Amino acid sequence: MHTLGEIATFIDAELHGDSSLKISSLAQCGDAGKGQLTYIASSKYKKDLLKSAASAVILSKDLLADCPTNALVVEDVYLAFAKISHYFKIKSALGSVHPSAVIETSAIGKNATIGANVVIGKDCKIGADVIIGANVTILQGCEVGNNCIIAAGVVIGSEGFGNALDKDKHWHSIAHLGNVVIGADVNIGANTVIDRGTLTDTQIASGVHLDNLVHIAHNVVIGADTAIAAGVTVGGSAILGKRCQVGGGAVIASHIHLADDTIITGSSTVDKHLCAGHYTGFTSISGHSDWKRNQMWLIKLDKIAHYLNIKLKHLKGR
């Protein structure tokens, strides 16, 4: 528990409000409530600010007049959030176990099978009939539903890749305070990594199948019965619908939404929201400016061919 005054000093913020206010945790703006601190990164989220129930908000000076609660005014909101996130970072420590100690195992369901060298962190919940292979790491606060199979070398709940750049071009990592919540009947292939959420949870719904070496970034939501083949990268905060199929080696960019029943061909790069359907997207590598210019024409080829066919028919008809 920290006071708003302490937090303001830590992030070098101009405080508008009650410096003695107790702040218990961080939360996203739409979810924040009493005793919680949130942030508004830009004016495009002004509507969220006006409706926020947070006890305090980190924001820029141009949004101060619209803030309905206590405010911490900073020059770089995202950088300030990166710094303060570590104030609230979940800390856990492992020590030796005395012979007289009692180890609580109620968080592990019946008939669960735990392989060699598995690490299960503090406050984790493991469902019934779960099979966990050797050398799996499930970090603090993560949840695994019933009947899941987790292959060797999987890491669940690793720190996400969030960073803020300061004026001197130095990176500041953001502490990730969310967890990973996995539904029932989920299969996770060897050496797959699922990052914990920043403030909310990364969510893998029931029936999802992940192949080997898949990377699921922070705050991703994957709908029920979606299947993802080996080597796929899903960027932070992407949302995949139910029954999606993603081929091996594909890359889904951050914040992308795939509708239910979307199919992505292997090695494709997905950089825009997609409705249900089958999509393929890859071209040979080239200089970035050349690629952008060529891509602009590539997506118009069908229309150009149609236009040329009409012109050709017109010429033949003369």
pLDDT, average across residues 164-180: 93
Q: Residue 33 — pLDDT band, cuts 50, 70, 90?
A: very high
Q: Please give the angle made by the CA atoms of 199, 67 and 167, to the nearest 5 degrees.
A: 65
In the predicted structure, residue 210 carries a pLDDT above the cut 90 = yes
**pLDDT at 99 (0 to 100):** 62
Confirm whether pTM is higher than 0.85: no
pLDDT at 95: 45
Separation between Cα atoms, residue 67 and residue 45, nearest integer Å: 12
pLDDT at 91: 39
Mean pLDDT of 290-302: 83
Q: Could you list the active site residues?
A: 218
Assigned fold of 113-279: UDP N-Acetylglucosamine Acyltransferase; domain 1 (2.160.10)
**pLDDT confidence of 257, banded at 50, 70, 90?**
very high
- Identical fold for domains 2-88 and 113-279, yes or no, is no
What is the pLDDT, as a whole number, of residue 103? 47
Superfamily of chain region 2-88: MurE/MurF, N-terminal domain (3.40.1390.10)
Instruction: Write down the domain spans for the chain.
Output: 2-88, 113-279, 287-318
Q: Is the pLDDT of residue 260 over 70?
A: yes
Percent of the chain with pLDDT over 90: 72
Mean pLDDT for 196-213 is 97
36 C-beta neighbours (distance < 10 Å), count? 21
Q: What is the 3-state secondary structure (H, E, C) of 63-87?
A: HHHHCCCEEEECCCHHHHHHHHHHH
Across the range 24-35, mean pLDDT stands at 90
Q: How many residues does the structure list for the chain? A: 318
Q: Please work out, in degrees rounded to the nearest 5, the angle formed at the alpha carbon of residue 179 by the alpha carbons of 245 and 272.
A: 35
pLDDT value of residue 184: 98
CA 244, chain centre distance (Å): 18
**Phi and psi based region of residue 231 (left: phi greater than 0; alpha: psi -120 to 50; beta: remaining):** left
Q: Which is more confidently placed, 246 or 314?
A: 246
The 10s digit of each residue's pLDDT in 82-121 is: 989 887 764 333 444 456 554 445 578 888 999 999 999 9
- Please tell me the predicted confidence (pLDDT) of residue 308: 85
